[in-house]
Amino acid sequence: MHINVMVADASHSKYAQEICDEIYTSSLERKTGIANRTPEYIIQKMVAGKAVIALTDEGEFAGFSYIESWGGKKFVANSGLIVAHKFRGMGIAKLIKEQTFMLSRKLFPDAKIFSITTGAAVMKMNYEFGFRPVPFTELTDDPEFWKGCVGCRHFDILVSHDYKMCICTGLLFDPAEHLEIHHPGEK
């Protein structure tokens, strides 16, 4: 079975409810802090070219992720990474994460990219892309971002700690920290 990972567009809006259902089911099963989103929100990301979707050659939904800019485009969040149950364990999450990361860098080349997660697999992938763990105070201070956490089962923990910590780990990729190394004698 071949999986195609691509930037989503309006033609993929028919998968929005399935994506939302998968996010909700996964949050219940894992008892983790995955914030729920509406189909309308998912469609908005697709139409704006700020989402990545994975589909089989037959058009079956396999996975999804999206990006959002914050703080005057100084920060970009990689969010909503989900792989449909049937396709887990096949390396699809890494393919989606890679495309989401590349889309973030293309649309917002100077922005700091961040992710908050409770998932060890997502943390591992982020480390491989050069992310590092950071306190929430190094992430965007844009209050609109934190409103997105309202749908998470652990939102009360975030609020009780004044939006400075929760059960999620904050991970940050700062392009300024990834300088190109020039070797002597190279042009």
User: Which residues lie closer than 8 Å to 173 by C-beta, 6 or more apart?
Assistant: 101, 112, 113, 114, 126, 129, 130, 131, 132
Six-digit token string for 85: 């149950």
Amino acid at residue number 155: F
State the DSSP H helix or E strand holding residue 19, giving kind and residue range, or none if neither.
Answer: helix 16-30
Render each residue's pLDDT in the chain as its tens digit; 187 residues: 799 999 999 999 999 999 999 988 887 777 665 667 899 999 999 999 999 999 999 999 999 999 999 888 999 999 889 999 999 999 999 999 999 999 999 999 999 999 988 888 889 999 999 999 999 999 988 888 888 788 777 889 999 999 888 888 999 999 988 766 566 666 5
> 3-177: what fold?
Aminopeptidase (3.40.630)
* Inter-residue contact 47 to 9 (CB < 8 Å): yes
**Which residue from 37, 64, 47 is spatially nearest to 13, judged by alpha carbons?**
47
State the DSSP H helix or E strand holding residue 173, giving kind and residue range, or none if neither.
Answer: strand 169-173
* Inter-residue contact 33 to 80 (CB < 8 Å): no
**Which residue from 134, 158, 135 is spatially nearest to 146, judged by alpha carbons?**
158
* Inter-residue contact 136 to 146 (CB < 8 Å): no
